[in-house]
Amino acid sequence: MLRAMLKTLLRWALLAGALLLVAKLYSGVQVTSYTAALIAALVLGLLNAVVRPIFVLLTLPITLVTLGLFLFVINALMFYWAGKMLDGFETTSFWAALVGSLIYSALSLVINHLLAATDKRG
C-alpha cells in the first residue's frame, strides 16, 4: 500500500517535470513554476479521469470515422481547458494545446514505461 502511494507521488512529480519540459521545448505552453506544474499535472489527471471518458463516449461516431484521430482533439481539449482554469499554466491557443498535449503524452508514455520497468525489477 505504501509502495503504491509512493509510486503515485513519484509519477505525479515526474509528470509535473514533464510539463516543465514541454514548456521548455515548445513556446506555445507556459508553466511559471514547479508548483504550478504540480497543480496542472493533478488537474490534467483529474480531467483525463473524469471528463475525457465522457467525451470519448459522446464522440465515438466521429472517432470511428477518423480512425481514432479525433482522440488527439479530445486530449488537446483537456490540455487547453487545464490551461484556461489554472494560473501558472497556459497554452497560447488550441493548436498550441494540441502540440503540447502530444509532447506531454509522449513524455508520459516514457515515464509510465520506466516506472513499469522498475516494478518488474523490484
Q: In a structure prediction context, what are the per-residue pLDDT tens digits for the chain, which is 122 residues long?
A: 888 899 999 999 999 999 999 999 999 999 999 999 999 999 999 999 999 999 999 999 999 999 999 999 999 999 999 999 999 999 999 999 999 999 999 999 999 999 988 777 75
- Which pLDDT value is given to residue 67? 96
Pick from 35, 102, 111: which is nearest to 71 by CA? 102
- Among 115, 120, 121, smallest CA distance to 18 is for 115
**pTM, entire model:** 0.91
pLDDT of residue 20: 97
